[in-house]
Amino acid sequence: MDADQVLAYRSEFPIADTETIPILDTPGRILAEAIVSDINLPDFRRTTMDGFAVKAASTFGASEGSPGFMTVRGRISMGKTPDFALGPGEAARISTGGMLPEGADAVVMIEHTEALDESAIEVYKSVAPGQHVVEIGEDFTQGDTILKPGSKIRPQEAGLLAAFGREHVNVYKRPVVGIISTGDEVVPIDQHPQTGQIRDVNTYTLASLVRESGGEPLIFGIIKDDYQALLDACTRALDRSDMVLISGGSSVGARDFTIEALSALPDSRIRVHGISISPGKPTILARVGTKAVWGLPGHVVSAMIVFTMITRPFLYHMAGREPERRRAFRIPARLGRNLASVQGRVDYVRVRLKQDEPGGLIAEPILGKSGLIHTMVKADGLIEIDRDTEGLDKDEPVSVIPL
Amino acid sequence: MDADQVLAYRSEFPIADTETIPILDTPGRILAEAIVSDINLPDFRRTTMDGFAVKAASTFGASEGSPGFMTVRGRISMGKTPDFALGPGEAARISTGGMLPEGADAVVMIEHTEALDESAIEVYKSVAPGQHVVEIGEDFTQGDTILKPGSKIRPQEAGLLAAFGREHVNVYKRPVVGIISTGDEVVPIDQHPQTGQIRDVNTYTLASLVRESGGEPLIFGIIKDDYQALLDACTRALDRSDMVLISGGSSVGARDFTIEALSALPDSRIRVHGISISPGKPTILARVGTKAVWGLPGHVVSAMIVFTMITRPFLYHMAGREPERRRAFRIPARLGRNLASVQGRVDYVRVRLKQDEPGGLIAEPILGKSGLIHTMVKADGLIEIDRDTEGLDKDEPVSVIPL
């Protein structure tokens, strides 16, 4: 099955419930409500400079050689509505962020004036109406939709929520993702592996990827290659999770166990059994009730790549994230060497980025078996080679998916 | 002062203490110890495929037309050391991840064999020594330094720590960053601003940026434009923080208060008073004892840009992060329109990225006053225009700093 066909199953899975959290906890979360501007922002005319509020027309013709003379009506206090209005030829001292008085429509920077005494200045430069002024509603107009549900909240979106006085906001809950490692050869990380055994790496890489992708990992430990043990573990995990990841079982026998156990779960449908990608071909997806259960490859690199390219979009969907609301850009680069590829499947190749000519980047492929974690530690990202491509040439433009 | 001269002051500030945390909490943290391989990884020869372990030489010459005949000695159990050795012409059933027996040096994939009976197979393809095998130490050799202090831990580094049985690891503590907003016109976000007042946005954008950058924000609220109040707030904040950010005070009078208050703190030296960047020129840096105190601009966009380009490198330094240990790549793009720039200062321009021809990106400048937060909400990143450049032309290559 093609990756695109697999991704189309996302719509079968429900979006998470919502919860209300304080604004300081929002960054990285996904907004679950539309934020509509209930005020104009700003709701008064502010200056962006220190200087003198004036009627712009009063400065027309002023220059170094022929300064304009203006009467100073007073100083505008920060945070207060001025209690006087300006007439022609009048000015008021104002600091950055201060409110323009009635009659003023521009600000002359302090650098372009000279004080004659407390109540008179000379102006050396004319200003246009609106100059150095933020108009009412120039940032947001009352009634504007300022943020849409599905947006990922960054520091600037948190600031925007603050500007509108939203101390608390409604976000999607983080989907809980159960994580099961399988394999007779896998031992917990606090044990010293005997010859023939390896420590459980996938639990930790997958838990970290889940957290990084907006989910909440829940660890169910290591299960032996045994049908009943796997069935029991899946049942326990499904009881407490919104999605379940089973890694391991890449061998034919173990894969059979996984398929059998997943098929035996109540209200289960096997949706995917093999994806035409490399690495990651022997991936399984079952829909159990409304929950997704994944059989991921056992090799650490394969499991990480399948998670990144296939599972993560499902997690984003369940977490309420609208991909077009905050695009994760691929990084343009040029390929560092020729790469062969098998037609009929999509290949994911680990690359390391190197700086090229100013601004340019070279993507150097990292080759190595998919059981070798050092290749992922060296990698900055992945490139995708299409199913219809025989390979890519050195210097071809590529798009790097950051890791 | 140039930005580079400001950044050179980083070395005046100490690196954070360290703490020991569980592996599951490490992603995003900065490693504070060197991790040295205490074992070979793997420490036995594993297969990457399901099939038959063999001595490669026994398969030489085997083909579809002329299959080789081999005797099957048995099945290798996962996680166990095989209790038999293979001689010439002998094979053993093996699953992915299984340990090769003595005498075997390669694996024939199951697809390239046919079982004649329980104890005999035909082999249709020859294999080379080492084929489909991960050698001892192929991932890491005992004694290798596998991670250096200063590395940011990603999911794959967490997996690597798991592979070496590191349940707990030593990381740098997150520096505590005190945040103070100033301005007579600034009100807390739970208040409805009167005309002339604005809600406190900078506390929330800066707290979010601090957290995103590996620090722990500590909020000290809003201080009026008053020398003594600011001095008291700084004293309180310094008592509990490793670094302090004061935002606001962009007006000349408020800037004077800030300089006066920072100068009055015990063991204080003003290191920076104005940086030749735009926005962000009126930035102040004081060293108070061993702590950095920043006077950041009041405009939200300016404060965010100064934090991103100037303050964050200081925070990374204090957090123990070695920038070269996990590079944050700038995204190559082409400029969407001509941009003018003033010589003698570095300009930072907000841009929105758009997809261009396959793989390429266009950086569209977002213009707008630095008091308007919507320009940051629309932005995907910043581009930097050098101090010696008069401007950039449409279609010129640029490097985008993600926001």
pLDDT of residue A325: 58
Q: How far apart are CA B312 and CA B274, in angstroms?
A: 17
Of residues A24, A110, A370, nearest to B204 (C-beta): A24
Domain with CATH 2.170.190.11 in chain A: 46-134
What digits encode the pLDDT tens for the residues A84-96?
A: 999 999 999 999 9
Counting residues of chain A whose pLDDT is more than 70, the rounded percentage is 98
CA distance A77 to chain B (A): 8
Q: Is the pLDDT of residue A371 over 90?
A: no
Domain with CATH 3.90.105.10 in chain B: 19-40+150-172
Domain with CATH 3.40.980.10 in chain B: 174-325
Phi/psi region, residue B231 (left: phi>0; alpha: psi -120 to 50; beta: rest), is: alpha
Q: Which of B305, B366, B353 is nearest to A156 (CA)?
A: B305
pLDDT category of residue B355 using cuts at 50, 70 and 90? confident
CA B253, distance to chain mean position in Å, is: 39
Q: Name the residue of chain B whose CA is nearest to A213's CA.
A: B155
CA distance B267 to chain A (A): 31
CB atoms < 10 A from the CB of B267, how many?
Answer: 9
Q: How far apart are CA B93 and CA B107, in angstroms?
A: 9
ipTM over 0.90: yes
Q: Is the pLDDT of residue B253 over 80?
A: no
In this complex, do A50 and B158 lie within 8 Å of one another by their Cβ atoms? no
Query: Which CATH class name applies to A331-402?
Result: mainly beta
pLDDT of residue A377: 95
Higher pLDDT pick, B152 / B371: B152
In this complex, do A211 and B48 lie within 8 Å of one another by their Cβ atoms? no
Of residues A48, A209, A254, nearest to B155 (C-beta): A209
Segment among A195-209, B122-136, B324-338 with least mean pLDDT = B324-338
What digits encode the pLDDT tens for the residues B28-73?
A: 999 999 999 999 999 999 999 999 999 999 999 999 999 999 999 9
Q: Is the pLDDT of residue B215 over 90?
A: yes
Q: How far apart are CA A14 and CA A242, in angstroms?
A: 9
In this complex, do A162 and B200 lie within 8 Å of one another by their Cβ atoms? yes
Q: Is the pLDDT of residue B328 over 90?
A: no
Alpha helices in A279-345 (DSSP H): 300-306, 312-318
Q: How far apart are CA A336 and CA A396, in angstroms?
A: 8
CATH of domain B19-40+150-172: 3.90.105.10
What digits encode the pLDDT tens for the residues A5-38?
A: 999 999 999 999 999 999 999 999 999 999 999 9
Domain with CATH 2.40.340.10 in chain A: 331-402
Q: Which residues on chain B are in Cβ contact (under 8 Å) with A47?
A: none
The answer to whether the pTM exceeds 0.90 is yes
Return mean pLDDT, chain A. Answer: 94
The domain over range B174-325 is classified in CATH as 3.40.720.10: no
In the predicted model, what is the mean pLDDT of residues A324-337? 82
CATH of domain B46-134: 2.170.190.11
Query: Which CATH class name applies to A18-41+138-172?
Result: alpha beta
In the predicted model, what is the mean pLDDT of residues B124-138? 96
Handedness of CA B95, B97, B103, B109 (dihedral sign): positive
CA distance B172 to chain A (A): 19
A62-100: buried (b, 16+ CB within 10 Å) or exposed (e) per residue?
beeeebbebebbbebbbbeebeeebeeebbbbbbbbbbb
Q: How far apart are CA A7 and CA A314, in angstroms?
A: 7
Tokens 């050396």, residue? A124
Q: Name the residue of chain A whose CA is nearest to B249's CA.
A: A96
CA distance B359 to chain A (A): 5
In this complex, do A154 and B208 lie within 8 Å of one another by their Cβ atoms? yes
Of residues A27, A156, A186, nearest to B211 (C-beta): A27
Size of interface A-B (CB pairs under 8 A): 308
Q: How far apart are CA A95 and CA B196, in angstroms?
A: 12
pLDDT of residue A369: 87
Q: Name the residue of chain B whose CA is nearest to A139's CA.
A: B372
pLDDT of residue B296: 96
In this complex, do A98 and B370 lie within 8 Å of one another by their Cβ atoms? no
Tokens 């038959």, residue? B52
Q: Which of B193, B202, B239, B236 is nearest to B222 (CA)?
A: B202
Q: Which residues on chain B are in Cβ contact (under 8 Å) with A379?
A: 156
